[in-house]
A and B are shown apart, each in its own frame.
Chain A
Amino acid sequence: MSIFDAEAFQSRHIGPSPADAQAMLQTIGASSLESLIDEAIPARIRLRKALALPDGLPEAEFLAALRHTAARNQLFKSYLGLGYYDCVTPSVILRNVLENPGWYTPYTPYQAEIAQGRLEGLLNFQTMVSDLTGMPVANASLLDEATAGAEAMTLLHRVQTKRIDRVGGTAKFFVASSCFPQTIDVLQARAQPLGIELIIGDPDTVEFTDKVFGALLQTPDEAGVVHDYRACIARAKAAGVFVAVASDLLSLTLLTPPGEWGADVVCGNSQRFGVPMGYGGPHAAFFATLDSHVRQAPGRIIGVSVDAQGHTAYRMSLQTREQHIRREKATSNICTAQALLANMAGFYACYHGPTGLTAIARRVRAHARLLEQQLTGLGFTEHNRQYFDTLRIGGVDPEALKRVALAHRLNFRYRDDGTVNIALDETTTRADVSAIVAVFAEVAGRKGTMTPPGQVDVTYPAALARTSTFLTHPVFNAHHSESEMMRYIRSLERKDIGLGASMIPLGSCTMKLNAASEMLPVTWPEFSKPHPFVPVDQMQGYQQIFAELEHALCEVTGFAAVSLQPNSGAQGEFAGLMVIRAYHLDRGDVERDVVLIPASAHGTNPASAVMAGMRVVVVASTKDGNIDVDDLRAKAHEHKARLSCLMVTYPSTHGVFEESIQDICAIVHECGGQVYMDGANMNAQVGLTSPAVIGADVCHINLHKTFAIPHGGGGPGMGPIGVATHLVPYLPGHPVVATGGVRAIAAIAAAPWSSANILLISYAYMKMLGGAGMTEATRYAILNANYIKSRLEQHYPVLYTRANGRVAHEMIFDLRQLKQASGIEETDVAKRLMDYGFHAPTVSFPVAGTLMVEPTESEPRAELDRFCDAMIAIRQEIQAVIDGTADPKDNVLKHAPHTAAVVASDTWTHGYSREQAAYPLPFVRANKLWPAVGRIDNPYGDRNLVCACPPLSDYQ
């Protein structure tokens, strides 16, 4: 570095200094970082040359350059609708939630005692969705509206198993042709592998035969028409057909909710509740259903339980439905929700309350009525008999209109039938209406002024108008001033541990730094405002970023092309498997439906395989944790004629670079199969080896792990897939915006580039670190992991390593012998770490009775030492139980975590001191993080399922 160079981002992103690294290498017993890497990664899979990517840019230079790219996105006023609407993010939510690491850095709330803040926020979201849709239970969000529609279909498919078996033949699902086009396309992708036939048609005339098990309707529909589906649903119910309805939360403040019509599922997008459109996302889709279907519901559901002291406490309930436990029998492959965005939407509802939301809905509708008045006054026709915010205007030359509208920087939706949709939203003003009128007037050759508005009537006929109350819970009626709202958000934030508090050593989750410079551009209007379906030529900034990001990801993976569409790792898996399926089918290989999955795989793999219509064959592990190559060979040959692919995680879920990976991939290829690499552990590969080198054909890349997108407290995430040349033609397409391969599979997400807004974060990460910086980050991830191993291995046995004792970027500590000797379980250690101010490592994955630790490169040595000191101190606490100096039941571990209320109580009956409970090491005193609740009673919560805000009396 010369005197003229600015500080490199690399030195900010990577935790340990070069001097720290030297000391750490001494502890590890490696002569240099390079020799440690040589010992950790088998020589034959190492990349021969450095990544061909530019050097990293200093932060300020990068941000300055990005301003120019941002300016290439032209912000037209968009009235395109289809589930995406401009909205006002209240500044108090923008600043205190979306732009606040306290909210965007935490992980999914598996450790509920230090996640009560976001769990309460998500419970608010569920209550809001439940109230507005008129349904008894809602989940804590799904990835997007289109996949929520697909999940509705598969839920109804599961609950109708008996009917489907009884009737026999091909099961059919009815989809109203007036559903959003992107929803229909995603349903196609999801229905096909499950053998479901879609019937797309008119709900008023469809015949509900025995073969039809379910239906999806939409109101307001794609054209903007508001429907009364009572009669249709009654007809369906009479025929034993279950019905899902896609809808719009804001409109439901004024309209009878589908729940009151007897719908089985109500789903949609909550984006317009204060979440920027972001050129497609991320946003929280909502999903509500009946109590009778709740065990078949997809995604996470927050529930209410009690803690050890009997106080109300929140947790994720019914996790046995989920892929990480039920694997190929899971209700869906979904892991990631959209927690950050669901929390924003929930806060939006808290801030505005039922009265405020109704006022917004009436205002939107009033502007739509005003626009209708003005346009019909100009001689145009309005086709939507009943609408909420969207008009369908006819009697205009669409080509002429488009020309004039573009000149005035307005986007309308031009329909195939020559009519034009105009969808208004919360941001629409009188001036906006006036500008639209002026454009139409110009086309009509008239003077472009508004006539004085007459009365506008925003009421609906009795059959449509909502009569039931909603959002009556105090939480939606107590935070309408900014002071109250700010304090409510802060009060929740204080209960949670994010990366702002301490390291989060979750194995397999890669909780690395989410740098402020990576996050800042997300809320720049040029990036946060665009609608996903604007003409691509208006989004040259975004398109440039996508191209550069795809190029960089190709360089990192060694693949030929990347699709940025998959909206999560799990969705990447589904997309990748569907691409493989299409490849086989295209070659006339119609029988290939067997997927080999190692026993150690993450539960999402088998769940995704089932979604893609495949049969799972499990491959055994050897006792040292590697894939049993003999078993793999035997099974690949046994299923040779039907082998579709192998799904393999690399480095393995056991945190080891397996020697035999290339042989494994070769065996699968010999048998005509493809290799799908799960990219969850990509952080150990970047710049040192690659999916292409190990022999994979396709992989997903968890941008929210390796490429710095924050976890958002349980989403968003992004899971683009990279593919080898022969699979490029099949990359997913999109029905509204042209994208994907020449023989593209149907869309697997609602928006063409899904959560485009957060792709900026990975883009920033790659641009600021550069090829060399990313490679150095990988080295330090491996250094940090091996340092923790060296410090802790004499206290806790490490389950799997390479033959030379090295681990990759994470490691598993085995607590099973300690449990036998002391009765202290892995959960007790996890909860006790909270008293030391730490989030637990991954508990009991991939091996029950263990803890898996992944430090990432971002954690400095001092923090690694604090974590190790805490783990060593806990080991001594366990030893006290073994030695009999601590009681096997009444000890610091079994009673952890200790809340302030417990420690400060006038009564203290434990056989250890308060000081031992709360301040077990000196560093804890300097930064004490008090768990908000004591140990949560999990069985109680699952046996007494409550998924909405409890009444305030429960807290007293």
Chain B
Amino acid sequence: MAYPAGLKYTKDHEWIEPAGGHGKVGITDYAQQQLGDVVYLELPEVGTRLKAGQSFGTIESVKAVSELYAPVAGEVIEVNTALKDKPEAINAHPHENWMIVLRFADASEIDALLDSTQYDDLVK
């Protein structure tokens, strides 16, 4: 699966889709492959403030459990609660199924993240 050029990526295998001062956050195709069948998501409440790299939830597959990390600092302004009822959607379409929307504390942090080519190299 190709890594969309419009997204930015972290070494922890999250993606973020910047749009103005905020962005949707999800996990990458590589991450979902490593986890296998996702069965459960634990997501934060709206209003949670996060530092860059801080855990905002957990994702569980049948065989593994992993933390979800904020790509940049910010405040959670929306949570995709519907995804909790169909976590398998993350396996099918990892780059479309976002988990939270972060309002950035410092938009310049986005620039420091990996672009799709750099991320592709990382997971090759």
Query: When the two chains form their complex, are residues A320 and B64 in contact, meaning their CB atoms are under 8 A apart?
Result: yes
Contact residues, A618-632 vs B (CB, 8 A): none
Contact between B40 and A325, CB atoms less than 8 A apart: no
Contacts of A319 in B (CB 8 A): 62-63
A887 part of interface (Cβ distance < 8 Å)? no
Beta-carbon contact of B40 and A938 below 8 Å = no
**With the chains together, A325 CA to B59 CA distance in Å?**
13
Given known A-B contacts A325-B65, A942-B62, A320 and B37 have beta carbons under 8 A apart: no
* Bound-state Cα–Cα, A942 to B63, Å: 11
Number of residues of chain B lying within 8 A (CB) of chain A: 12
**Chain B contacts for A894, CB-based, 8 A:** none
B7 near A: Cβ within 8 Å? no
Task: Check: A939 CB closer than 8 A to any chain B CB.
Answer: yes
Q: Does B88 contact A (CB under 8 A)?
A: yes
Is there contact, CB below 8 Å, between B65 and A943? Answer: no
B39 — which chain A residues lie within 8 A by C-beta? 320, 939, 942-943
Docked complex Cα distance between A943 and B40 (Å): 7
Given A938-B37, A938-B62, A943-B87, 19 more A-B residue pairs with CB atoms under 8 Å apart are A295-B40, A319-B62, A320-B39, A320-B40, A320-B61, A320-B63, A320-B64, A325-B65, A326-B65, A844-B63, A939-B39, A939-B61, A939-B62, A942-B39, A942-B40, A942-B60, A943-B39, A943-B40, A943-B88
Contacts of A844 in B (CB 8 A): 63
Q: Pick 10 A–B contacts, CB within 8 A, sort by A.
A: A295-B40, A320-B60, A320-B63, A325-B65, A329-B65, A844-B63, A939-B38, A939-B61, A939-B88, A942-B40
Closest Cβ of chain A: how far from B38's Cβ, in Å? 8
Contacts of B40 in A (CB 8 A): 295, 320, 942-943
Determine how close the nearest CB of chain A comes to the CB of B52; give it in whole angstroms: 22
Taken together as a complex, chains A and B put the C-alpha atoms of A353 and B12 apart, in Å, by 54
45-76 of chain B: CB within 8 A of chain A: 60-65
For the complex, what is the distance from the CA of A320 to the CA of B58, rounded to whole Å? 11
**Which residue on chain A has the smallest CB distance to residue B40?**
A942
C-alpha spacing A708/B121, complex, angstroms: 53
Q: Which residues of A contact B62 (CB under 8 A)?
A: 319-320, 938-939, 942
Tell whether, in the assembled complex, residue B87 and residue A325 are in contact, meaning their CB atoms are under 8 Å apart.
no
Residues of B within 8 A of A943 (CB): 39-40, 87-88
List chain A residues, Cβ under 8 A from B38: 939
CA distance A320 to B88 in the complex (A): 16
Nearest 6 A/B pairs, CB to CB: A939-B37, A942-B39, A938-B62, A320-B65, A320-B60, A943-B39
A805 to chain B, nearest CB (A): 32
Shortest CB distance B84–A (Å): 11
Q: For residue B61, which residues in chain A have a CB less than 8 angstroms away from its CB? A: 320, 939
Return B42 CB to nearest CB of chain A, in Å: 8
Known: A295-B40, A942-B39, A942-B40. A325 touches B63 (CB 8 A): yes
Q: Contacts of B64 on A, CB cut-off 8 Å?
A: 320, 325
Alpha-carbon separation in the docked complex, A381 to B115 (Å): 83
State the CA gap A138–B88 with chains docked (Å): 26
Q: Which residues of the other chain, A, contact B63 by a CB distance below 8 angstroms?
A: 319-320, 325, 844
Chain A nearest Cβ from B101, distance in angstroms: 22
C-beta contact mask, A820-859 vs B, less than 8 Å → 1, else 0?
Answer: 0000000000000000000000001000000000000000
Q: Give Cα A604 to B108, complex, Å.
A: 43
Q: Which of B39, B40, B64, B65 has the most CB atoms of chain A within a 10 A radius of its CB?
A: B39
**Contact partners of A938 in chain B: CB under 8 A:** 37, 62
Query: What is the minimal beta-carbon distance from B35 to any residue of chain A, in angstroms?
Result: 11
B11-38 near A? 1/0 per residue, CB < 8 Å: 0000000000000000000000000011
- Give A942 to B64 CA distance when docked, in angstroms: 12
* Chain A nearest CB, measured from B50 CB (Å): 16
Shortest C-beta distance, A165 to chain B (Å), equals: 13
**How many angstroms between the C-alpha atoms of A320 and B39 in the bound complex?**
10
How many angstroms from the CA of A844 to the CA of B62 in the assembled complex? Answer: 13
Which of B38, B61, B63 neighbours the largest number of chain A CB atoms within 10 Å of its CB? B63
Residue of A nearest to B37 (CB): A939
Quote the shortest CB–CB distance from A210 to chain B (angstroms). Answer: 21
Chain A residues with Cβ below 8 Å from B60 are 320, 942
Closest to A844 in B: B63
CB-contacts of A310-368 with B (<8 A) = 319-320, 325-326, 329
* B16 vs chain A, min Cβ distance (A): 25
CB distance from A83 to the nearest CB of B (A): 35
User: B69: shortest Cβ distance to chain A, in Å?
Assistant: 15
List chain B residues, Cβ under 8 A from A295: 40
Q: Please, how many angstroms separate the alpha-carbon atoms of A806 and B63 in the complex?
A: 31
- Chain B residues with Cβ below 8 Å from A325 are 63-65
In the bound complex, CA of A576 to CA of B13 (Å): 39
Residues of A295-310 whose CB lies within 8 A of B: 295
